[in-house]
Chains A and B, each alone.
Chain A
Amino acid sequence: MSHGTAPRVSEARPLAGSSVRRHDGDAYVSGRIGYTDDLSLPGTAHVVLVRSDVPHARITVDVRDASTRPGVLTVATGRSLAGEYGPIPNAMDPVPTGGQPLEIHVLPVDKVVYVGQPVAAVVAESLAQALAAAADVKVHYEPLPHVMDPEAALAADAPLLYESWGSNVMLSGTVGSGDVEAAAARSAGVIHGTLRTGRGAPAPLEPRAYCADWDARTRRLTWYGTTQAPHPLRHTIAEFLGLRERDVRVVAPPVGGSFGFKNFGHPEEYLVCVLAVALARPVQWTEDRASTLRYGARDSRLAYTASYDDDGRVTSVACDMVANHGAASATGAFGMAFAGSLAMPSGYQVPDFRCDYRVVVTNKGPWSPLRPFGKEAGVLLMETVMDAVARRTGLDPLEVRRRNWVKADQFPYVTTTGLELDSGDYEGLLDKALTVLDYAAFREEQARARGQGRYLGLGVGFEVLPEGADIPGALIGASDISTVRMSPSGDVTVLTGVTSPGNGNDTAIMQIVADRLGVAMDSVSIVQGDTDICPFGFGNVSSRGILTGGGSAALAADDVAAKLRQVAASMLHVDDAERLVLRDGFVSVDGDLEQALPIAVVAHALYTVGYIVAPDVEPTLESTRTFRMRNIRHHADDDGKIMPFSTFSNGIYLSVVEVDIDTGVVDILRHVMVHDCGVMINPRFVTGQFTGGVVNGIGAALTEEVLHDPDGRQLSTGFKTFLLPRASDVPAFEIQHQVTPSPFTPLGTKGAGEGGVACTMASLLNAVNDALSPLGASITELPAVPHRVLAAIGGGQR
């Protein structure tokens, strides 16, 4: 036993902050992960939906012929189900905030409100039989006038989608404080403008798929499907079917991307249940691509007035937002308008601010939740205003932002919409970005290029993303529950209420737990997405997997660790259990591996010889804990404001583009991204969230738009008409991170799932406009598709 070289455990927790690989990556790359549509329960019947050909009509559906076709088990319509089943539960209800009541049925009872809306469900032994029979369902349409444009839908004589509302406004409201008109009157200058965003779509690569299985003997329903929120869905399915919650089991296999789309509230989630109960066998439905693309987002018009002083400070912003929701839905998507308005002041000090928003229904497909949940509206608005102020005052756009930002020493900072920004260093972000991109050199290059007839532009986008939401009255909360258990052999199982849309949060939670228990990654396993096994949780929404799932797992792991220390203290005859260190698979005294026991030995001892080695210790190596964000406030303050978000990650992007002024095509030459989402458990996973968000943002800014013809038919029904960016469309990104921990989370983390989309939209919009500025042209509508850019320039002339 030599002195000074006694073996010791590692200095720090080895896994925290390291980019370990996905724990189950080998199964993914070898095609062995089972998604919902990969399951096949014996005896499954298949559903094909018959869809509306018209945008607005009263319907009668004749299913007699279809019902007699070979293999057909049943054909359901809204009418045939209406006697037994009411409307589906809403993920969020607009009524408490002054909105209209939503009554979405699994199938519409007497009226269709968009082309592609399901009107009947054909269930048959095989998919082929269901498809063949679907052609024989006869739908009689009594057409009603339709309206696609929200401004037209606001007109007094507009056709009404939901007559009982008396108008087409689902919800309207105002956020902000101060007197914007007075502030504008006092200011040096005023800017008016309008911004429009086209209709986007979540378009995960995997369409939705649901399978319900009713066991008539036990009267229990098991539901498998593409969902982000198993527990909330179980609650609503039970409510809808009139079952006890415990008689519903929701299982969420791995999903092929969600982005908000696979949160709960879709009629088909409940439809498969109804059919399974009726037929007492498994019933499965898988969506096709065209139908997936019927769910949209954005499609908004922002009319704004902003005022500023000569020193470039923005003194007020007033915004009137009209959001085209399409048909109503129960997914809570309308909340995007509210969230977007709340987030609107971004990270700027805007003394007087007001946003009036109206969520308008039209005869398009419904809105779907879509990351970053409406917050891109505010980002686009504020980044447009900053550039406009720069043009008016002659200041540099970067300088204008510096002057308006909340400063690093001002946190926590309460915005004019009542959000308490947790922490940040926005100037630090910009400084970092400028170490990557030489701003002065770019301006020179730009001038040179202009001399050669080339139009380069640089645009800034800055975002602050309220995440980790807790919505009063809804099953969307800023808390989650995790259980950590250790078996007699030292194996660790984590059960958690958060789910993973594929972002790797399962692996990251395992990292957190492995570190706290001092064991290797491969001693830990995790179970997500099964309501019979996992504790209650809200799934994955609003970037909360690590905040609350990781937070609660850390608390539970700490409990188990404390227990192990207690037992080991007794086994190693140490008085102070605090001296025991759990690391590298051992419980050691002060990290000295010569006074240590393997963790598995300690666990085994507690279970088998507990009366001897630790008679006073309760023999459980298991803990269930909840982590709840503590900076949420639901009691309204004097202005009626609440604080429904818990973290505020932020970022700045600099985009360099070249606009081909003969064709209007925009080419992205550089995209510099600096992000701050607090402490990163697994930096590579975090980076992946941002690069994914950036490409979503590029799509929204340049290529993706769902279009309809005047007859209400959707023209964008596939990937040749709704153009997702491909690898060859985007440059290599230049990525930097800044870490400003959240003071409100145990690990210092912030949300990281919504980043990149909004600031990319803004940086590209501004970059295109910078490129076009010598032509006196600008665009105010995204996506900046070539014909829009060319029209802004005024045709094809050189």
Chain B
Amino acid sequence: MIAQPFVYHAPTSVAEAIEILAENPGTSRVIGGGTWVVPECNRDESRPAALVDLRRAGLSGIDVVDGVVCVGATATYSAVMSSPDVARHLPLLAAMASGITGGRQIQSQGTVGGSVVAARPSSDAPAAVAALDATLVVAGPDGERRVTGTGMFADASTSCLREGEILTRLEFTVRPAARWGYYKLKRSASSWPIATAACVLGEQPRLVLGGVSATPVHVDLGSVLAGRPLTPDTIEEAVRRAADSVSTPWEDELAPATYRSAVAGPVARRALEMAAHQEES
């Protein structure tokens, strides 16, 4: 039972949602799938006066439009896993989704968009969408804006969204098929991700670490992997750079900072080796 009373809204359009948020400045929360925000309210850690549920706002679709894969903000992990478009163009996203814990119940209720907005360090989606060079499409009282790269995440549990805004979709430009890898380290099936690594090795190779820092860490690969084959040497160099890139490691009750810096390299290596295996096959 949620201790504090609230008004529940289920707007049927983005415009209506924005309007409701505007009417409740600073006192509303958006519900995507609700897997995070509902228990948070139930634990009395958040006391919104208005809850704005996007379930009817028409944001759950996944489409390809003009060479861009659009993943609606309320598309669930299950939707991502079963989308042929995602399978073809964003296999990394599908792999990430299929490793979400909590069972089918969570996969078919939790949303990629919700995870991105929640921006929790110990989560899967932020680093994965960063590695896929996503663009966040954000709607607010002043219209729409688009955010990319390191701009997506401001701090632990703080995304780029401002008061009164909602995420409407994530966009991914369709690029030529590239090798990719995803590795998630967790303590056990009950555990949050402790460290993740996502890499996409196209023309502009990207390696992003999750869990190890307040926000996803974009590893500066220099020219180590660009246009070069993955060899033990290049992997070694990339791993070294990954390990060095964690300047202020994240710490929580599941793992201390020293551990997170220690595993950054090994986790990066596993993602890269996964990509390397794709090359072989």
Contacts and interface: CB of A to CB of B under 8 A. Distances in A.
Direct A–B touching in the complex (beta carbon < 8 Å)? yes
Interface of A: 127-128, 131-132, 134-135, 290, 662-665, 702-703, 707, 715-716, 719-721, 723-729, 785-787, 790-791, 795-796
Contacts of A662: 263, 266, 269
B187 A703 contact: yes
18 contacts: A128-B3, A132-B5, A134-B3, A290-B43, A702-B188, A703-B187, A720-B190, A720-B191, A723-B188, A723-B254, A724-B190, A726-B189, A729-B189, A786-B194, A786-B255, A786-B259, A787-B256, A796-B265
Interface string B238-256: 0000000000000001111
Contact of B1 (A128, A663, A723, A796): A128
Contacts of A721: 253-254
A135 B3 contact: yes
B interface, by DSSP: helix, strand, loop or mixed? loop
Contacts of B253: 707, 715-716, 721
Contacts of A723: 187-188, 190-191, 254
A323 B188 CA distance: 27
A720 B188 CA distance: 10
A721 B254 CA distance: 7
B188 A790 contact: no
Contacts of A127: 1
A665 B187 contact: yes
B188 A663 contact: no
A729 B188 contact: yes
- Give the bracket for the number of chain B residues in contact with chain A: 20 to 34
B77 to A, nearest CB: 17
B226 interface: no
B270 to A, nearest CB: 9
Contacts of A131: 1, 3
Nearest to B194: A786
B1 A787 contact: no
A39 B142 CA distance: 52
A727 to B, nearest CB: 8
A447 B267 CA distance: 26
Contact of B259 (A135, A719, A790): A790
Contacts of A726: 188-190
B268 to A, nearest CB: 11
B4 A787 contact: no
A724 B192 CA distance: 13
Contact of A790 (B1, B262, B267): B262
Contacts of B43: 290
A555 to B, nearest CB: 45
B190 A786 contact: no
Nearest to B267: A663
A791 B258 CA distance: 9
Nearest to A290: B43
A730 to B, nearest CB: 10
B185 interface: yes
Contacts of B256: 787
A135 B185 CA distance: 39
A728 B99 CA distance: 12
A665 B185 contact: yes
Contacts of B188: 702-703, 723, 725-726, 729
B190 A787 contact: no
B189 A787 contact: no
A166 to B, nearest CB: 35
B266 A132 contact: no
